[in-house]
C-alpha cells in the first residue's frame, strides 16, 4: 500500500473519530453556531459560542427577535449541533452544482448529501503532482459547527454567514 494512501486513511480515521465523539469542548471553536438541546425547531434559537470555560462550560450569546442581545454560560449537555440544510449552505455562500450528483461548492470544498449526512471533498490543483486535479474525500458531517471547523481547517478562513437561517 503506497505511503500517501496510508496517510490518507489515517487522516480520515482521525477526522471521523473527532467528528463522531460526543459534545466536548475540544470539538468547538469560538464563533461556532449551536442551538439548545431541548429546542424542537433548530431555527428558533441560534447561539454563537463566544468562549470556553473550565473544559465543559461554554459561554454563548444570541439575539432575540426584537434585536436585543443576551448571553449566558451553560454546560455542554444543554446544547446541540444545528443540522446542515440547503438554507445554511446558501447563507454560507455555497453554490449548488447539478453535475453527476447534487453538489454544493465553495472555496475548493464540495459537499455531497447522502442519507442525511454531508460528505465533504477537497479539490485542488496540486503543485507537486503530475495530475491535473486531486480530490481528497473526508468523513461525513452533519452539523453546522462541524462544517465551520472543517472549512477553517482547510482554508484558514471563517465561513461568512450572510444572514441567519
The string of pLDDT tens digits covering residues 135-153 is: 777 889 999 999 999 989 8
| Sheet arrangement for strand 134-137 | 95-98, 102-106, 109-114, 117-124, 134-137
- In the chain, alpha helices (H): 3-20, 86-91, 144-155
pTM above 0.85, yes or no: no
* Structure confidence by residue, pLDDT tens digits, 30-50: 999 999 988 766 667 889 999
* Structure confidence by residue, pLDDT tens digits, 55-77: 778 999 988 777 788 999 999 99
Amino acid at each position: 500500500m503506497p505511503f500517501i494512501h496510508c496517510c490518507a486513511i489515517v487522516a480520515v480515521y482521525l477526522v471521523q473519530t473527532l467528528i463522531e465523539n460526543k459534545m466536548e469542548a475540544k470539538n468547538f471553536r469560538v464563533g461556532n453556531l449551536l442551538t439548545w438541546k431541548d429546542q424542537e425547531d433548530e431555527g428558533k434559537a441560534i447561539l454563537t459560542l463566544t468562549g470556553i470555560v473550565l473544559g465543559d462550560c461554554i459561554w454563548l450569546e444570541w439575539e432575540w427577535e426584537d434585536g436585543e442581545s443576551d448571553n449566558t454560560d451553560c454546560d455542554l449537555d444543554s446544547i446541540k449541533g444545528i443540522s446542515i440544510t440547503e438554507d445554511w449552505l446558501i447563507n454560507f455562500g455555497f453554490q449548488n452544482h447539478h453535475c453527476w450528483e447534487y453538489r454544493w461548492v465553495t472555496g475548493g470544498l464540495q459537499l455531497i448529501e447522502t442519507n442525511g449526512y454531508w460528505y465533504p471533498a477537497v479539490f485542488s490543483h496540486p503543485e507537486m503532482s503530475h495530475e491535473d486535479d486531486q480530490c481528497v474525500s473526508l468523513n461525513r458531517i452533519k452539523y453546522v459547527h462541524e462544517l465551520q471547523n472543517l472549512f477553517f481547517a482547510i482554508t484558514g478562513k471563517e465561513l461568512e454567514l450572510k444572514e441567519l437561517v
